[in-house]
Amino acid sequence: MTRETELAIKVENLTKRYGELLAVDDISFAVGKGEVFALLGPNGAGKSTTVEIINTIRKATSGSVTLLGMDVTKKKHEIVSRIGVLPQGFSSFERITVKETLQYYSRLYCGNHPDIDGLIELVNLTDKAKEQYKSLSGGLKQRLGIAIALVNNPEVVFLDEPTTGLDPRARHEVWQVLQGLKKEGKTVFLTTHYMEEAELLADTVAIISKGKIIAMGSPAELIEENAKYQILTLQSVDEIVFETVRKIGFEPVLTDDKNIRIRVEHTEDVQKILSALKDAGALYLGLDVRKPNLEEVFLKLTGEALHYDTAGEGGAK
């Protein structure tokens, strides 16, 4: 059990209504200091509402939130100087350079982070320091947004969908920056609808759907508890493969790229399928057996796929 003093965030029975709409429905969780916590859920699940209540921007309808030991409704002023925020859909001054932007925000925060060049280096923008915001690509803009969130050397950093809309390469570059924050021991509260992001970065993932947290744990725990099976993928199959697998009692699923995926409970099932295919003379190019991922856990728990935007790494598979 984590001691109260080791907690960065404690949320108890948090509820938020917008008129008739119940956006956040009685959620509770705690985030330890130095932990990377991800709130994973589809559009409209209540992620931003939750983040913005914790970081003092919005007001809860009921419930309590303690941040760095302080009640967020009573100590807003003390709290904001110790946290950093990258809001969803962040944007900055078009014609101001990277360095000028950070110098400006640093002054705004009373210059608690004098090492602007170090900060620029931390987010890998050293060779862009003299470029105007408007000339940066989406990934670079987000990295500047992360640097702004770090300008006051905060203890807790809130990043609301830091990689949404980025192409896979830009997303990986942002992930590298976030892994750097993790190494520095910052507490990071991340929201995302990319399960790879949560799986790669987070110590704890809370899956949120329709305002409720429906599962919480480390990525490995979530997979272990909710998906006690393996996935066998057979590549470039012919029609006989599909039929043979179906005939011996499994439920093959044909994917867009002409592979089939089969859920198997035991390793012996893999043996059984492969020998049936051999007997039938069915052809496939390769195979792979893997554990399910968070996407499959989410599908199982909610019956719905996580939303992917078109710039993401492919649609829901």
Ligand X SMILES: Nc1ncnc2c1ncn2[C@@H]1O[C@H](COP(=O)(O)OP(=O)(O)OP(=O)(O)O)[C@@H](O)[C@H]1O
With binding defined as CB under 6 A, does residue 43 bind ligand X? yes
Residue list 86-145, contact with Mg ion (CB under 5 A): 88
With binding defined as CB under 6 A, does residue 46 bind ligand X? yes
- Give the residue from 289, 1, 307, 12 showing the smallest Cα distance to 161: 307
- If binding means CB under 6 A, how many residues of this protein chain bind ligand X? 13
Instruction: Find which of Mg ion, ligand X, none residue 45 binds, CB within 5 to 8 Å per kind.
Output: ligand X
With binding defined as CB under 6 A, does residue 18 bind ligand X? yes
Token pair 């994917």: residue: 255
Determine the Cα–Cα distance for residues 141 and 26; give it in Å rounded to an integer. 35
Among residues 48, 56, 92, 106, the one that binds Mg ion under rule CB under 5 A: 48
**Considering the complex, what minimum distance in angstroms separates the CB of residue 101 from ligand X?**
24
**Considering the complex, what minimum distance in angstroms separates the CB of residue 85 from Mg ion?**
13
3-state secondary structure of 155: coil
Instruction: Find which of Mg ion, ligand X, none residue 43 binds, CB within 5 to 8 Å per kind.
Output: ligand X
Among residues 14, 27, 45, 178, the one that binds ligand X under rule CB under 6 A: 45
With binding defined as CB under 6 A, does residue 292 bind ligand X? no
Contact present, 119 and 91 (Cβ < 8 Å): no
Contact present, 119 and 99 (Cβ < 8 Å): no
Q: Which stretch binds ligand X (CB under 6 A): 17-25, 212-220, 265-273, 295-303?
A: 17-25
From residue 59 to residue 88, the character string flagging contacts with ligand X as x (rule: CB under 6 A) and all else as - is -----------------------------x
3-state secondary structure of 240: helix
Residue list 263-282, contact with ligand X (CB under 6 A): none
Beta carbon nearer to ligand X, 88 or 235: 88
With binding defined as CB under 6 A, does residue 49 bind ligand X? yes
Q: Quick count: other Cβ atoms within 10 Å of Cβ 8?
A: 24
With binding defined as CB under 6 A, does residue 47 bind ligand X? yes
DSSP 164-203: TT--HHHHHHHHHHHHHHHHTT-EEEEEES-HHHHHHH-S
Contacts 24+ apart (CB under 8 A), 134-137: 134/94, 134/95, 136/98, 137/170
Q: Which stretch binds ligand X (CB under 6 A): 38-46, 128-136, 212-220, 245-253?
A: 38-46
Which chain residues interact with ligand X by CB under 6 A?
A: 18, 21, 23, 41, 43-49, 88, 193
